[in-house]
C-alpha cells in the first residue's frame, strides 16, 4: 500500500510558508483510504482577516486539501473511504461529497457510478483493510503487507 500526504500552506506577506492543513491518502488498489486530516487552528487564526474570510467562503482549508486529493486520486479508484468520529470534521467530509455507510463512522466518496453490489463489496473490502491496519497499530497482529515505520 502506497501512501501520500498533502499539506496546505499559507504564504505570509514576507514569503514564509506556514502549514495549515494535512491529509493522508493510502492507495489500496481500487480504493483509497483517507485519514489523519488536521488543521492548524493557531495558524488559521493568525491569517489576515480577508484571507480567513476567503477560506471560510470556500468551505475551509480541510475541504480544499481533500478536494486536491480527490482530483489527483479520484480518477484512479472506485471508492475513497474515511472514518470520522468528530462532528466538526463530519460537516466538512459531507461537504466534500462523502456519504455515510451502514457502518458506524465509515464514510465513502464514490468517484464513479457503481451498482449496489459493487458498492457493498468495496465497503466490505475497506472494513477488512482498516480492521487489519487498526489491529497492527494496536500491536495485536503483525502483517508484512502493512508497512511499519
Residue ranges of domains in the chain, CATH in brackets: 2-113 (3.40.630.30)
Which positions of the chain have pLDDT values less than 70? 130-149
Whether the model pTM is above 0.85: no
The predicted structure's pLDDT at residue 30: 93
Q: Which grid cell is 105?
A: 463512522
**Nearest residue to 21 (alpha-carbon basis) of 56, 74, 66:** 66
The predicted structure's pLDDT at residue 132: 52
Q: Quote the CA–CA distance of 107 and 105 in Å, as a whole number.
A: 6
Q: Quote the CA–CA distance of 92 and 107 in Å, as a whole number.
A: 12
The predicted structure's pLDDT at residue 103: 85
Q: How big, in percent rounded to 5, are the helix, strand and coil portions of the chain?
A: 40, 30, 30
What pLDDT, in 10s, does the model give residues 54-74? 999 999 999 999 999 999 999
Amino acid at each position: 500500500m502506497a501512501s501520500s500526504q498533502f499539506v496546505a500552506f499559507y504564504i505570509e506577506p514576507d514569503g514564509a510558508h506556514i502549514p495549515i492543513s494535512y491529509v493522508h491518502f493510502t492507495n489500496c488498489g481500487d480504493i483509497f483510504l483517507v485519514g489523519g486530516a488536521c488543521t492548524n487552528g493557531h495558524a488559521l487564526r493568525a491569517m489576515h482577516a480577508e484571507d480567513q474570510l476567503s477560506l471560510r467562503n470556500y468551505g475551509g482549508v480541510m475541504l480544499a486539501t481533500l478536494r486536491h486529493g480527490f482530483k489527483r486520486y479520484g480518477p484512479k479508484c472506485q471508492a475513497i473511504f474515511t472514518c470520522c468520529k468528530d462532528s466538526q470534521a463530519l460537516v466538512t467530509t459531507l461537504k466534500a461529497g462523502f456519504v455515510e455507510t451502514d457502518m458506524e463512522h465509515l464514510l465513502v466518496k464514490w468517484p464513479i457510478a457503481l451498482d449496489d453490489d459493487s458498492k457493498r463489496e468495496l465497503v466490505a473490502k475497506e472494513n477488512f483493510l482498516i480492521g487489519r491496519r487498526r489491529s497492527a497499530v494496536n500491536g495485536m497482529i503483525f502483517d508484512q503487507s502493512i508497512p511499519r515505520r
